[in-house]
Amino acid sequence: MTAQTIVIVGATGDLAQRMLFPSLYFLDSEGKLPDGFRIVGAARASVTPEDFEATAEQSVRARAKGYFTDAAWARFKARLDYHVLDADKAETFVALGEVLKGAGETIFYLSTSPSLYDAISTHLRGAGLVKPGSRVIVEKPIGRDLASSQVINDSLGRTFSEREIFRIDHYLGKETVQNLLALRFANTLFEPLWNKVSIDHVQITVGETVGVEGRWSYYNDYGALRDMVQNHVLQLLCLVAMEPPASLDPDSVRNEKVKVLRSLRPIVGREVERKTVRGQYRAGVADGKTAPGYNEEAGGAPSDTETFVALQANIDNWRWAGVPFYLRTGKRLPNKASQIVIQFRDVPHSIFGGDALAANRLTIRLQPEEEISLTLMNETPSLEGVQLRSVALNLSLTDAFKDQAPRRRIAYERLLLEAIRDNQTLFVRRDEIEAAWSWIDGIVEGWKRFDVKPAPYAAGTWGPAGAFALTERNGQTWYE
């Protein structure tokens, strides 16, 4: 059923201020929040509700920019409340119970370090705040490996049932990710070709220009493989590779995704040296500015954490046998560019003499622009026989839908709305997380066993040379 209240635990933190309050504000200004919906900020800081409102207003203004209006803010502000909550103090949860009297179905958004999930959920239960219809939203990282993710999931599971746990992967809230489902399952064009017979390989790139900035201590403990591949990149891979689900209901979709994750071929033994590449940025130029190296950002402390990873994944099932999936992600790359490239196979026989034919390529770009493009071979106007050239059929989703969606939505808007409506389709189930960790753990073990260290790359480049060798070895190249 529809939730009536959301409690954001960790409400003064970065995620809440940068993403959650602005997203809720946008939902409210578009009339998407239920009547009487309440938003309770909760955190350790003993600030007054007025000070809390002022901070939230600043954050919302900064994000909403031209979309901020006093009228919308006045309506939003009326929903806001603040409560001091300390994960170490059970009594603060009992006091929260007073605030939540008559609150109706309540969502608890744990925007905190996962190390606090156990204490918070135990106190919520202890204070009698978990009732039929309650649900909890949690953020990654759900663990650092399979074993630690199981500890977190077990601990949440003592208070909430799987049906009540909403694990966020914010990539699932991105518009183009949704569009991937539409492209595959609302058109007849691609699905018959979506397999090893017609597809040569798939590339998934999630590139960022930023470094690790203020998050060094978290990041250094995780690295690109755990921070990005275990979740966002593998979720994209699932949506590309999964079988058509029976419907869009949560379990139909998640059953198909988990089958893909379980079909990932483990990267075993010395294969880590051939099928994975680790990199770490050194000083260079990113986004037109000089950028320090990773170790300098940490004050010179030497580290073996990777800020770049490229992998060759294989999916052992009937649809994808023999089709490599190249995955790559990193910080301080030349562009903030996230894209999925479906490279079709070469034409089996050319009737056009010597002209080289470029195989068709479908590119689904998530960032910076939302675009879909399909390259086709075409004849160039000429009297001299048939002269061929590859041209792109481009669809800019940003332009096509600028009337309906004049601004780019924050991924959290969609996810919060789905949680309010109690729909788990876009949230990650426990078995998905665990299957993803099992595969990732195998790679980490290989790195340890064979002492695979990150190779340096200059900030502002596409990673170490090994990343190019990874695809070239199979006669393929990355598309930028």
User: Positive or negative CA dihedral for 58, 113, 79, 83?
Assistant: negative
Contacts with ligand BG6 in 137-196 (CB under 6 A)? 170
Q: How far is the CB of 370 from ligand BG6 (least distance, A)?
A: 13
3-state secondary structure of 3: coil
Binding of ligand BG6 at residue 208 (CB under 6 A)?
Answer: yes
By beta-carbon proximity to ligand BG6, the closer residue of 236 and 261 is 236
Q: How far is the CB of 269 from ligand BG6 (least distance, A)?
A: 30
Strand ranges for 194-323 from DSSP E: 199-207, 276-282, 284-286, 289-291, 308-314
Q: How far is the CB of 208 from ligand BG6 (least distance, A)?
A: 5
By beta-carbon proximity to ligand BG6, the closer residue of 59 and 176 is 176
- DSSP assignment of 396-457 equals EHHHHTTTT--SPPPHHHHHHHHHHTT--TTS--HHHHHHHHHHHHHHHHHHHHTT-PPEEE
H or E element in which residue 338 lies: strand 338-344
Query: Which of 37-54 are b and which e, b meaning 16 or more Cβ less than 10 Å from the residue's Cβ?
Result: bbbbbbbbbebeeeebbe
- The mark string for 215-234 relative to ligand BG6 (x by CB under 6 A, - otherwise) is ------------x-------
Q: How far is the CB of 323 from ligand BG6 (least distance, A)?
A: 25
By beta-carbon proximity to ligand BG6, the closer residue of 208 and 306 is 208
Q: How far is the CB of 85 from ligand BG6 (least distance, A)?
A: 24
Q: Which residue is nearest to ligand BG6 (CB)?
A: 227
By beta-carbon proximity to ligand BG6, the closer residue of 164 and 418 is 418
Please list, in sequence order, all residues whose beta carbon lies within 8 angstroms of the beta carbon of residue 79, skipping any fewer than 6 positions away. Answer: 28, 33, 37, 38, 39
Whether 83 is catalytic is no
Distance in angstroms (rounded) separating the CA atoms of residues 116 and 129: 17
Q: Which of 123, 170, 201, 232 is catalytic?
A: 232
- In terms of Cα–Cα distance, which of 344, 394, 366, 360 is closest to 194? 344
Distance in angstroms (rounded) separating the CA atoms of residues 320 and 330: 26
Number of residues counted as binding ligand BG6 (CB under 6 A): 3
By beta-carbon proximity to ligand BG6, the closer residue of 53 and 208 is 208
By beta-carbon proximity to ligand BG6, the closer residue of 170 and 361 is 170
- The 3 state secondary structure assigned to 121-142 is HHHHHHCCCCCCCCEEEECCCC
Q: How far is the CB of 301 from ligand BG6 (least distance, A)?
A: 19
276-282 and 308-314 strand pairing? antiparallel
- The mark string for 353-382 relative to ligand BG6 (x by CB under 6 A, - otherwise) is ------------------------------
Residues annotated as catalytic (active site), given as ranges: 232
Interface with ligand BG6 (CB under 6 A): 170, 208, 227
